[in-house]
Amino acid sequence: MFSDSALIQFVFANERTDVFWSGIFRTELNRYLFYMLHENYSHAYFIDSMDGKVSVMHYNELDAEAYRTRSTLLHGSQEEQLAKWMLKQLTNKKRRCAVVVKLDVFCRLFGREETILKDIYEKYRRGECFGTIVLAASHNSDKNLPYLMESPVFDHLNENAVITLRGAGRTENIYSYLKTDKQSACVFLNRYTRERIADLVTGIAVSSSELYPGQDTLRCVSNYLTRYLNCAGMRMREQRIFDRDFPFVCPSWQEIYDQLRKKNIWTALCRRSRDYEKAHPDELSDHSVDLICQSAHFIYNDSSIRMKCMKLCVPGALYDNLYDDRTIDDLDQIYMIVRSPNGGKVNPTIAARVDNFIMAFNSALQLSDKDTCARIAAGILLCVRWLTVESDKEILVLEIIHMTEDCARASARLFNLQKQSTGLITAEQKQNINELQSYLKHFDSTFSSLIIDVELSISDVMKNMREVSKGLPLIAPVEIDIDDEDEIVWN
């Protein structure tokens, strides 16, 4: 799984989850990493830092007593002492060592150890370094980015993949770039692959004769669950599988395991997966499922605009009659865009306006105004393309957002007018409804083409939006109410 020649390797995972593999084995993350590193390295050391003290844990080679551990505390000038110790382990020709340390701990401990880190790189370049440094990083991208994009340790170690990311100011998925550049030296344990899910469900099925549904059903369950966990659109269209408090955005393996151990959920999943395969045989073929699980899954801080957008993709939304198909299509695309972490910093002004869209979406949702929900979702989809836009183009994006907000207001006005006009309708009301419907029909058509053509520049989008906005009817506004005491205020 890991490289046998790279100096620096990355592994991304939820560090608080157990790992399942080979159907029946379950262990905590560090032991799993030791097991995998043991293919190429005879020793693995795990460094951690807590309360100003550094601990080094060593998992011995596999033996009849399984895993034995010991801890060492380093005092005094521990950063320099530890860096020298690490250099000694990495250059030991008699036994190849892997030093595993959390990304944030590594950057904090060795940020000022420029001389020793450069010495490690020089020995590696000359073929005198036989070990590897494995940086264990979080599945929370907001925790990783400051270290990946700013820490000097990668300059000292001449880590080209990270240096290139920084220098080019890249805005694409930084983890996809790291994987492309480092290949087997970049490992994602936060990917929901068919193989790993098959290991998990097999382990559950063989734990009890009551839970074993047969080999063919197990294959259906593995493929269905792989697609379900990787596709936000499918989760929204399918009936909810897991409990309502289940964290559907990047759940840990432990959380998935706990759900599948519930007999009612397991039984329902077996039945639903068989039904789904009959209705969608191509989607649940092994090849089709393998194609959709290449991306790693990351979360963000709860206050992050990315996380707020991802949480709009509520499982079972179509089944529960919350969203219509066009809303789900747009939310699915939003999810795919915002879940891809990039090196650019989120523009706080744009993020604040998208946040306002999300509040309006939720208020329209409470009113069962599906048309307005759909138009706001389309607006969010258009705007999240420019979450990291530079300040010199910010004003153009803000104008696009403002015109999109006008559309949402017009949609909310139409909804309220139609709701008020269930009985006798005045000529003025009829005229207002007709004008709004005409404007929104034109806007929807233009908007659809703008969303599809992702290559359009900001200025081209703005020109199209300005043209359609000329038809906005001048009708007294109607607020988008959440309830009697709370309402959305468009800034």
For residue 221 the two structure tokens come to 């369950």
Instruction: Name the region of 51 (left: φ>0; alpha: ψ -120 to 50; beta: rest).
Output: left
Q: Which residue has the tokens 């001449």?
A: 158
CB environment 28-43: b (16+ within 10 A), e (fewer): ebbbbbbbbbbeebeb
**CA–CA gap between residue 371 and residue 324 (Å, rounded):** 9
| 491 residues of the chain, pLDDT tens digit each | 899 999 999 999 887 776 766 655 677 788 888 888 988 998 889 988 877 778 888 765 544 333 444 445 454 457 788 888 999 999 999 889 999 999 999 999 898 889 999 999 999 999 999 999 999 999 999 999 899 989 999 999 999 989 888 876 665 678 888 998 999 999 998 889 998 899 889 888 888 778 788 889 999 999 999 999 999 999 999 999 999 899 888 888 888 989 999 999 999 999 999 999 999 988 888 888 888 877 788 889 999 999 999 999 999 999 889 999 999 999 999 998 888 777 678 889 999 999 999 999 999 999 999 999 999 999 999 888 888 888 888 888 898 888 889 899 999 999 988 887 666 777 888 888 898 999 898 888 888 887 777 777 888 888 888 887 877 776 545 444 434 334 444 44
**CA–CA gap between residue 70 and residue 56 (Å, rounded):** 8
Cβ atoms of 328 and 318 closer than 8 Å: yes
Q: How many CB atoms lie within 10 A of CB 242?
A: 22
Q: Which own/partner pairs from 208-217 qualify as long-range (CB within 8 Å, at least 24 positions apart)?
A: 210/263, 211/263, 211/266, 213/270, 217/270, 217/273, 217/274
Domain ranges of the chain: 8-188, 194-291, 305-469
Centroid of chain to Cα 362: 22
Residue 21: the pLDDT is 65
> If you compute the radius of gyration of the chain from its CA atoms, what whole number of angstroms results?
27
**CA–CA gap between residue 34 and residue 30 (Å, rounded):** 6
Q: Quick one: 269 exposed, middle or buried, by C-beta within 10 A (0-12, 13-18, 19+)?
A: buried
Residue 204: the pLDDT is 87
The DSSP result for 110-175, as a single string, is HTT-HHHHHHHHHHHHTT----EEEEEE-SBHHHHHHHHHH-THHHHTT-HHHHHHHHHT--SBHH
Q: How many CB atoms lie within 10 A of CB 230?
A: 21
**CA distances to 21, 230, 243, 286, 300 from 270, in Å:** 21, 18, 16, 17, 32
Q: How many CB atoms lie within 10 A of CB 272?
A: 17
Residue 475: the pLDDT is 56
For residue 343 the two structure tokens come to 């090196």
SS3 of residue 44 by DSSP = strand
For residue 200 the two structure tokens come to 């998990």
**CA–CA gap between residue 86 and residue 106 (Å, rounded):** 12
Cβ atoms of 64 and 96 closer than 8 Å: no
Q: Which residue has the tokens 């989760």?
A: 235
The DSSP result for 340-390, as a single string, is S-BSSPPPHHHHHHHHHHHHHHHHHHHTT-HHHHHHHHHHHHHHGGGTT--
Residue 69: the pLDDT is 45
- 125-155 pLDDT, tens digit per residue, is 999 999 999 999 999 999 998 999 899 999 9
Tell which residue, 108, 114, 116, 53, has the closest CA to residue 90. Answer: 116
The DSSP result for 379-444, as a single string, is HHHHHGGGTT--GGGHHHHHHHHHHHHHHHHHHHHHHHHHHHTSS---HHHHHHHHHHHHHHHHHH
**CA–CA gap between residue 32 and residue 19 (Å, rounded):** 7
| Count, residues in the chain | 491
Q: What angle do CA 332, 401, 438 make, to 5 degrees?
A: 85
Residue 106: the pLDDT is 94
Q: Where are the alpha helices (DSSP H) in 261-320?
A: 263-279, 286-291, 305-310
